[in-house]
Amino acid sequence: MTEIRAAQALCQSGVIAEANSDALFITYDLSPQADVSRLKHLLAQVPVLTRAMEDASSQSGASAELHVTLAVGEQVWERFDGAQRPAELLPFPQQQRDQLSAPATPADVLLHIRSNRHDINHEMASRLHALLAGHLVLVEQIHGFRYLDSRDMTGFVDGTENPQGDDRAAVAVIADGPFAGGSYIHLQRYEHDLQRWNQLAVKQQEDIIGRTKTENVEYAGADKASFAHTKRTSLKDAQGKSVEILRHSMPYGDLTKRGLLFASFGASAVPFTRMLESMFHGEEQGGAYDKLLDYTVAVTGQSFFAPGLAMLESWNDA
């Protein structure tokens, strides 16, 4: 318990804070003119700027519960810290099976901005974007939002298995060592084919997910098909304990494209990799794949590391 409390104090607040109703997922690449030393100093200001924005919003009404998590991509980590690298910060574990794929589309910096007010998120994003101008080039900005009663665009409740309470830090935050307070982040943007999905009968959809649609009751293990999403993503380790990640995923969409911005946070990168491999290959190569992949396509895939507060402070002093 002491280690968990320490991890909570050492990590960026957005890593383990409870879910918000609104979020921006903003990815950047380093510009050719980037001064990484200067950029590190600017990024180190993000927690202070976030607190100031949260305090200002609270003075005008209820707290927006603003959080910003910044993370660095695996391809450029050495430019930020050439002396040490998180052991599991690896290229995105891209997958391929027949026509199904989970591509790797690397990006250099992630800003995950979330609160219960889209206007506050927008204002925070605008200020940080201006602050970092000249060092970063925008890759993608996705607006995620709570949909109905925390459902994905498929109509099913999302994030049911997320860890709660102190377990969030135990799952998502490195507890000790040189990277204490840090978290491995994997980001994927999925685009749903809702026209095809909605042609299925509700029972067919439920069998694919492994959970009832309206009541959100998970099937018993014996009743799940090998291709069910909850079967393919509910794994055990060698000791029989559940393999867990902390999800900060959110639906996104407009009148033409709708999907899920999937965000995995972990004290280790291994659980996410195992889950993704299981979705595509089952228990072993050639096993049953997650049939939900017939109705949604991963179009991005990125690996990041979110440094703890102590490392960010060292960037400020550099």
Rounded CA separation 140/219 (Å) = 37
C-alpha distance from residue 211 to each of 89, 144, 146, 155, 187 (Å)? 33, 23, 20, 11, 24
Q: Which residue type sits at 303?
A: S
- Count Cβ atoms below 10 Å from residue 214 Cβ, excluding itself: 10
Angle, helix 118-131 to helix 46-59, in steps of 10 degrees: 140
223 is catalytic: no
Catalytic residue among 158, 193, 207, 223: 158
24 forms beta bridges with 113, 143
Rounded CA separation 238/66 (Å) = 38
Are 20 and 67 in contact, with CB atoms under 8 Å apart?
Answer: yes
Give the catalytic positions in this structure. Answer: 158
